[in-house]
A and B are shown apart, each in its own frame.
Chain A
Amino acid sequence: MTRELITGNAAAAWGARLARADYLPAFPITPQTEIIETIARWSGEGVMDCRMVMMESEHSMITAAGAAAATGVRVYTATSSQGLLYGMEMLYTVAGWRAPFVMANVSRGLAAPITLESDHNDILAARDSGFLQIHCATCQEVLDVTLMAYRLAEDRRVRLPVIVNLDGFYLSFTREPVNIPGQDAVDAFLPAFDPGPATFRAGHPVSQAVAVLGGAPYSYFRYETALAAQAALDVYAAIGADFFARFGRRHGALERYRCEDAEIVFFMMGSFSTKAKEAVDRMREDGVPVGLLRLCMLRPFPTELLRSALTGKRAVAVIDQNLSMGKGGILHTEITSALYGYRNAPPIVTSFVGGLGGRDISIEEFFEIAAINRRASETGEIPPPRLLYTDTELREIRKLQAIAHVERQEEIVP
C-alpha cells in the first residue's frame, strides 16, 4: 500500500488499474479526459495490461464496452455530461444485455446553456437505465468503490453495469491523500472476471439481445433485470463488509454523519456533502442537533436503510444539485416516495435546489436551510421548494444582462 496525493480522476484510473481492466473503449470529454489519458500512459509504459481504443462517440463507446463485456473481458470506461446523454440509448441497451462493466461518470451540468462545471442532472438522466449507480464524495471513495463496483457488477445475482459517479472539478481535479492498496490485496478481494457460459466463442453459439414479440416476454426480461438490480443492495452490503475487513474502510449505500441524535438531517449526494459536514460540525458546536445523510447508492435505492436512518427525525432537508423542469429536485421525489406511508417517517421533508453548474453552496446557506427546517418542524408547515440564489448573484446577473442589452443595441444601431 502507498499513500499519494492524487485527483479524483487519477483515483478512478487507479481503480481500473488495480481491477486489472482488460479493455478501455474511450471518447474524450471535459472533465473526464485525465482518466483515459492516465490509463493510456500506463498501458504505454506497460504497467497496466489494458487495450485502449478511441471510439468516435459515446454511443459507440458504450456499445463497444457492452459488446466486449458480453464477450468476456473486464471493461472500464468513463464519460461525462453531454457524452452520457449521447450514449443514452446504449445505456439502456447494454444494461438489458446484462453486460457487467464499470463506467465512471464525471458529473457536469447539461446544455443549454453549455457549461463545464458540475451538477447531477447528467447522471440522474441515467437513473432508470438499468445501470447501478454509486456516488462518491472523496477521491479515496472513487478508488475503493471502483473495485467494489466490479465485484457487484460481475456477481451472478446481479450481472449489471455500474456507474461510479464523481463530481467534475470538485472531485475530478481536486487532490486528496489516497491510500492505494497493493495489487495482491486487490487480487484477493477481486478475482478475475468469470463471464460464465453466455459469451461468443466458436463451437458455442449464443444469441444476445434478440427481439421479443409481445409484452409477456418483454416484461419477463425487464422484471428479471429489475429484480437483479434490487438484489444488488444485499450483495453490495456483503461486498462492503468484505472490503472493510480487508482494507479497513467502510463504504455502503448510505453514509450517516452525526445522525444518531440529530433532529434535522441534510440529505444529499456527492462531494458537496463535505461542505455539509463542515456546516454540521459548526452547528453542533452551537448545540444545534443536525446531521447528514449522504446517499451513496442511488440505484438500487436503499429504501429500508433510509427509513431506519430517518426514524424519529423531526425534519429532512433534501439538497438537490439537479432540477427536473416542471417538478423540482429529483432526490426530493426519490426520498418522499420512499418515506410516504412509513409509520416513523419524519413529518417534515423540505426541498432545496442548489449547486447547479458548479455554483457553490455556502456554509451560511446550510445554516439557513437548517433554520428553515427547525421553523417548519415547530409550525408543522412544509415550506415551498427553494431555488438557492443570493441577492449578490442576482445583482451580478442583472449587470451581465445590462451589458448584453447594450451590446445588442450597438449591433442594431450602426
Chain B
Amino acid sequence: MTEARFQRMKDLPSTHLLGAGTAMCAGCGGLAAVTEVYDVLGENTVFVNAAGCMTLLSVYPFTPFRGSWLYTAMASAPAGAQGVRDALDILRAKGRITPEEDLQVVVLSGDGAAGGIGLSATSAAIDRGLDFIYLCYDNEGYGNTGQQTSSATPHGALTATDALRSGFAGWKKDLFAIWVANKPAYAATVIGGEPLDLARKLEKARSMDGPRMILALAPCPAGWGYDPEHSVEIARLAVKTGIWPLKEYADGETVHTRLPHPRQPVENYLKLQGRFAHLFEPARDEPRLKEIQDAVDAYWAPLEAEHAGG
C-alpha cells in the first residue's frame, strides 16, 4: 500500500490532468470526482464508459482525457473492460506489447447503469475477478435525461418521474453492500468534496489487483435543485450529517474513514436542495423527516457505540 503519497491537502496535485471546458453542468459533483480520480490514476488509463452524463465528456473531435476512452453502451461497460483487459493481457503474454504499454482499465458509470441496467454485467465482472477499477458517480437519478428516479434515488427525493410530487417512496439501493457481498478486492465510498480521503482511497485501489469499486456521491445542481456554488457545501454536509458514510472495504473488512462527530441533523443537508423542499414547505413533514433521520441514526448507532466504548 502506498497511501502515504497523500498525507495532507498540500500533497494533492495542484494542476489537473483532465482538460477543462467539458459539457458538464457548472458545479457538477460527478465531474469533480472524476477530475480528482484522474489526477491520482494518471494518463495511463483507459476509461470504458457506460451511457450517462459523463458520456458527453468526449464529443468528437474533443476529449479532455490525456489517456484513452471507449464508450460502450449503458448496460455493458464492465464487459468492455473485460475485453480490453483480456486483450492487453494476451498481448503482453504473447510479447506483442511491452509492460510499459499496459493500461489501468477503469469503468466510468453513473448510478443508473451501476445499480440497474448494468448491474448484471458488473456482478459478473466481479465473479470473474476482473482486474479493473469501477468508478460510479452517483447523482441519485438518471441525471443525463433530466433526473428520473433510479435505484439510487434516496427516500423522499422528488424526481422528474414522481407523478404524485410526494418524493420517492423507496429507499436508496446499497450498491456498496452489493459489491462487498460479492467479495471484491476493494470497495470505497468517496465524495469530491473530501479530496484527501478520495486521493488516499484511489491510491490504495491503484496499488491493488482485481475488482475495485469507487462509489462517489455526486452532488448534482441540475438534478437536486440547488445553486452550483453550494456543491462543495452540500458534499461536506452529506458527510457531516452521516447521509453519505465514507468507508472502505478490503481484506474482508469494512472500515469507516470518517466518523462524523458531532453528527449534524439530516435536515441541514436536505433543506438546501429543491428535491427535498416539499419536506419543509408549505409545512414541515415531520414524520418523513423523522423517518430519514431515524434511518441515518440506525446506520451509525453501532459504530458510535463502538467508538464511545473503545
A residues near B, CB below 8 A?
A: 22-23, 25, 49, 51, 53-57, 59-61, 63-73, 89-90, 93, 200-213, 217
Q: How far is the CB of A173 from chain B (nearest CB, A)?
A: 29
Find out whether the CB atom of A90 lies under 8 angstroms from the CB atom of B69: no
Query: Interface with A: B2-10, B33-41, B91-99, B282-290, which one?
Result: B91-99
Find out whether the CB atom of B68 lies under 8 angstroms from the CB atom of A207: yes
Find out whether the CB atom of B68 lies under 8 angstroms from the CB atom of A206: yes
State A211–B44 Cα separation when bound (angstroms).
22
Minimal Cβ-Cβ distance residue in B for A212: B60
Known: A93-B72, A205-B65. 15 other contacts (CB 8 A): A23-B83, A56-B124, A57-B121, A59-B76, A60-B82, A63-B76, A63-B121, A64-B82, A65-B83, A67-B72, A67-B80, A89-B75, A205-B66, A209-B71, A211-B71
Find out whether the CB atom of A53 lies under 8 angstroms from the CB atom of B82: yes
Minimal Cβ-Cβ distance residue in A for B97: A201
**Residue from the list B48, B89, B103 in contact with A67, Cβ < 8 A:** B48
**Residue from the list A23, A57, A210, A213 in contact with B86, Cβ < 8 A:** A23
Chain A contact residues: over half helix, strand or loop, or mixed?
A: mixed
Minimal Cβ-Cβ distance residue in B for A61: B79
Find out whether the CB atom of B103 lies under 8 angstroms from the CB atom of A210: no
Nearest 7 CB-CB pairings of A with B: A67-B83, A60-B79, A71-B87, A56-B124, A64-B83, A68-B83, A63-B79
State A123–B87 Cα separation when bound (angstroms).
27
**Residue from the list A69, A200, A217 in contact with B46, Cβ < 8 A:** A200
Q: Is B90 an interface residue (CB 8 A)?
A: yes
Minimal Cβ-Cβ distance residue in A for B59: A211
15 example contacts (A-B, Cβ-Cβ < 8 A) are as follows: A23-B83, A51-B89, A61-B79, A63-B72, A67-B82, A200-B46, A200-B68, A202-B100, A202-B101, A209-B72, A210-B71, A211-B55, A211-B58, A211-B71, A217-B60
Find out whether the CB atom of A200 lies under 8 angstroms from the CB atom of B84: yes
Q: How far is the CB of B116 from chain A (nearest CB, A)?
A: 14
Given contacts A57-B121, A60-B124, A72-B91, whether A67 and B71 have CB atoms under 8 Å apart is no
Given contacts A90-B73, A200-B68, A210-B71, whether A51 and B90 have CB atoms under 8 Å apart is yes
Residues of B near A71 (CB, < 8 A) are 83-84, 87-88, 91
Residues of B near A70 (CB, < 8 A) are 70, 83-84
Residues of A near B84 (CB, < 8 A) are 67-68, 70-71, 200
Residues of A near B264 (CB, < 8 A) are none
State A108–B299 Cα separation when bound (angstroms).
52
State A65–B65 Cα separation when bound (angstroms).
24
Find out whether the CB atom of A23 lies under 8 angstroms from the CB atom of B101: no
**Residue from the list A63, A67, A205 in contact with B67, Cβ < 8 A:** A205
Residues of B near A63 (CB, < 8 A) are 72-73, 76, 79-80, 83, 121
Find out whether the CB atom of A68 lies under 8 angstroms from the CB atom of B67: no
Residues of A near B127 (CB, < 8 A) are 56
Residues of B near A209 (CB, < 8 A) are 70-72
Find out whether the CB atom of B44 lies under 8 angstroms from the CB atom of A67: no
Minimal Cβ-Cβ distance residue in A for B88: A71
Residues of B near A202 (CB, < 8 A) are 44, 67, 100-103
Given contacts A60-B79, A73-B91, whether A51 and B69 have CB atoms under 8 Å apart is no
B residues near A, CB below 8 A?
A: 43-44, 46, 48, 55-56, 58-60, 63, 65-73, 75-76, 78-84, 86-91, 94, 96-97, 100-103, 120-121, 123-124, 127-128
Q: How far is the CB of A2 from chain B (nearest CB, A)?
A: 27
**Residue from the list A55, A73, A200 in contact with B82, Cβ < 8 A:** A55
Residues of B near A51 (CB, < 8 A) are 86, 89-90
Residues of A near B86 (CB, < 8 A) are 23, 25, 51, 53, 64, 68, 73
Given contacts A57-B120, A209-B71, whether A200 and B103 have CB atoms under 8 Å apart is yes
State A14–B55 Cα separation when bound (angstroms).
40
Find out whether the CB atom of A200 lies under 8 angstroms from the CB atom of B88: yes
State A40–B162 Cα separation when bound (angstroms).
50
Minimal Cβ-Cβ distance residue in A for B63: A207
* From A54, A57, A60, A90, residue with most partner B Cβ within 10 Å: A60
Find out whether the CB atom of B87 lies under 8 angstroms from the CB atom of A68: yes
Minimal Cβ-Cβ distance residue in B for A55: B79
Minimal Cβ-Cβ distance residue in B for A220: B60
Q: How far is the CB of A197 from chain B (nearest CB, A)?
A: 12
State A57–B122 Cα separation when bound (angstroms).
12
Q: How far is the CB of B65 from chain A (nearest CB, A)?
A: 7
Q: How far is the CB of A276 from chain B (nearest CB, A)?
A: 40
State A73–B79 Cα separation when bound (angstroms).
16
State A25–B73 Cα separation when bound (angstroms).
18
Given contacts A200-B103, A203-B100, whether A23 and B87 have CB atoms under 8 Å apart is yes
Q: How far is the CB of B61 from chain A (nearest CB, A)?
A: 8
Q: How far is the CB of B46 from chain A (nearest CB, A)?
A: 5
State A61–B88 Cα separation when bound (angstroms).
17
State A67–B105 Cα separation when bound (angstroms).
12
Given contacts A72-B87, A205-B43, A205-B66, whether A59 and B80 have CB atoms under 8 Å apart is no
State A54–B82 Cα separation when bound (angstroms).
11
State A213–B97 Cα separation when bound (angstroms).
35
State A25–B70 Cα separation when bound (angstroms).
18
State A248–B206 Cα separation when bound (angstroms).
54
Residues of A near B103 (CB, < 8 A) are 200-202
Given contacts A59-B79, A68-B87, A201-B103, whether A53 and B69 have CB atoms under 8 Å apart is no
State A211–B97 Cα separation when bound (angstroms).
29
Residues of A near B120 (CB, < 8 A) are 56-57
Residues of A near B81 (CB, < 8 A) are 67
Find out whether the CB atom of A210 lies under 8 angstroms from the CB atom of B60: yes
State A25–B96 Cα separation when bound (angstroms).
20
